[in-house]
Structure 1
């Protein structure tokens, strides 16, 4: 029998408070840790979230928590989920469930007291693992522990059936491959993802983008993304993607998921805008993606410091660094000196303004803007001198 050991989260006072509250209501063993915490513990990975499964109904869960003086938040009661808060830490508690009906996007569930039924509706065998308060692991599929230890991502039961229940599981297959998989992907699962990839069209953009960015956040997503491309899944999500060489090169050096997304796409501002809107990215994410892929004001790893300062001033720090990373991936050349400049050079502010021109007798209006633009271009070309501004303004006034 497998047992979890050396897991601080398992014996933490907050964890025990929640477990004790549930067992006071339903008896010993009525609550088990489930999914990610058990999987990660077996794989030697950090445990961030602690989820709990129980045959207790949501109403009984809430009553048990409140009797114990713990906060109970009904975050998804219709699906059996209540969030307990102990010592300001959340614990998601879900009643054991079985699917009544599914449509590829959402499921209608019924509560059950059968742990095997609950395991049978989960996505992958390494996620269908449970552990009691003493750390004893329960593996209803019989292969979840082996999968976790071997880094195998295998669907529970028939892959096509699991996918038809929720087509997001296609993306989850590749996301879990990126984060936890080792060796060749499961052939049956991969074939099912390829065969049912059209079902991704049924999903909301928000669900797709969230899953995609999680995948791209993996320490090394290259193998999973290549598998997605080979299966035709990547083209369903991002038809704009062509050659993966830039993405592969950039992903070795940079772990930012949005930058990795940019590396998958062509250098085209309008195209980046379309992708961002289709994926329903946030305004900040959309602006960053578009700026990174705008081909104007190109950044090259071979730039000297003067050209680098000009690019940094025009683009801003984030965009300059993004474009440098993309350029380095294409050209296969690192530029540590330019990167240090982009990271540390204090970007100066325009040293003159309309008030300075007004003191020279220029009335506010279009002429002010024209003169300031000319001054700025000259100032950039001269590598941002710190003095001589009044003389330059006077010279501009005297030059037709």
Structure 2
């Protein structure tokens, strides 16, 4: 791995003034920014670890004219806004107590103590821009090169500190893992799967959707189902769901559509609207996502694809068609803009139809034929309107 690539982290827009404000040797890049740089991946989130207290971070940034937000100050985190991009700056911490859902921490100046409380070896890499040195306490570089996702220290201890790490293990495995899994880490996740029941359903949903948004999460989902990881909190997801997910991902590729976590969750669940709604409620998903899952669970394809898109929306039509393996028909919707019927009840009344239920009935007949004929042009629509009015009179 090319360590010189890490120097680019300090050269990101607005980063030099921030590092100058904090002071040489007080902070190091850590976590995903270091990991992804070493892997040659785009860096999305930038995190700094520092020996400074949160209040000192805010004071120094303020003196340099850099805006900060105390996003998690009780846990040592301050967010600095540089070039309109957030940089999270967190004081070094050591755990005082944990209960699997939250931790009580104490600030420290011990870099190793901070590293020991992190989850995986590949997330505990520190880059010091002042000395241009990489600190790696747990062979994280080796694991990155090997595609090995491994807990720091004793896996059962790490999971006891935060039960969500069970799901994070599989998400990181899906993203970075290659070859055989770390046996001790997998065994600990299997042994403590019931701990997931202690987590809020929102946190579970967030991790699951992040996993499903990855390019190909199917092999990891198979592994989770085979080892009973999801059974305590999502017993509806089984081998049949994994098979549906396999087929969906293959269809997405043929149809040339982007991965979509919500659609993939639909594939994992039984094709039953009531079940989809029940699971969505349990996971406390947004109303929009709840409706989408229920809509996707219905298997009625309602005639030609554009008619389906008109009836339930383009997104809903694409979901159902992809779940049904109909890639070609989804490609046919790529440039389709769902139209609106350019005729209203007012026009029918102006043309002599008496106000009342007959207006709605006639308008519905016009709409039905217009959709069945594939949304014909204005001339043909005018003919449909004339025919409907003649029949109504």
The alignment partner of 2:89 has SS state of: strand
> For the structure 1 residues 186 and 261, does the alpha-carbon distance in structure 2 shift closer, same or farther, using more than 3 Å as the test?
same
CA distance in 1 between counterparts of 2:76 and 2:275 reads: 41
CA RMSD of aligned residues (A): 2.1
Tell me the equivalent position of 2:282. 278
> What is the CA deviation profile of residues 278-336 of structure 1, one whole-angstrom value per residue up to 9, with x for unaligned ones?
212222222222222222x326xxx7xxx3333232232111111111111xxxx642x
Tell me the equivalent position of 1:33. 29
The alignment partner of 2:259 has SS state of: coil
TM-score, with structure 1 as normaliser: 0.89
Q: 2:265 aligns with which of 261, 268, 273?
A: 261
CA distance in 1 between counterparts of 2:73 and 2:316 reads: 43
User: Which aligned pairs between 1:138-217 and structure 2 lie closer than 5 A?
Assistant: 138-141=135-138, 143-217=139-213
The alignment partner of 1:343 has SS state of: coil
CA distance in 1 between counterparts of 2:7 and 2:215 reads: 23
Q: Residue 366 of structure 2 contacts residue 385 of structure 2 at CA under 8 Å; is this kept in 1?
A: no
Runs of 4+ in 1 over 6 A off after TM superposition: none
Q: Establish whether residue 397 from structure 1 lines up as the match of residue 388 from structure 2.
A: no
Tell me the equivalent position of 1:15. 15
The alignment partner of 1:108 has SS state of: strand
CA distance in 1 between counterparts of 2:337 and 2:155 reads: 54
Using the TM superposition, give the Cα deviation of residue 217 of structure 1 relative to its aligned residue in structure 2, in angstroms.
1.4
Q: Residue 357 of structure 1 contacts residue 393 of structure 1 at CA under 8 Å; is this kept in 2?
A: no
The alignment partner of 1:100 has SS state of: strand
> What is the CA deviation profile of residues 4-39 of structure 1, one whole-angstrom value per residue up to 9, with x for unaligned ones?
43653322352222222112xxxx422111111111
Tell me the equivalent position of 1:316. 313
Using the TM superposition, give the Cα deviation of residue 277 of structure 1 relative to its aligned residue in structure 2, in angstroms.
1.7
* 76-85 or 370-379: bigger deviation: 370-379
Q: Residue 7 of structure 1 contacts residue 41 of structure 1 at CA under 8 Å; is this kept in 2?
A: no
Using the TM superposition, give the Cα deviation of residue 170 of structure 1 relative to its aligned residue in structure 2, in angstroms.
0.5
CA distance in 2 between counterparts of 1:369 and 1:345 reads: 27
Structure 2: 5+ residue stretches without partners:
none
Q: 2:225 aligns with which of 229, 234, 239?
A: 229
CA distance in 1 between counterparts of 2:201 and 2:40 reads: 33
Q: Residue 266 of structure 1 contacts residue 293 of structure 1 at CA under 8 Å; is this kept in 2?
A: yes
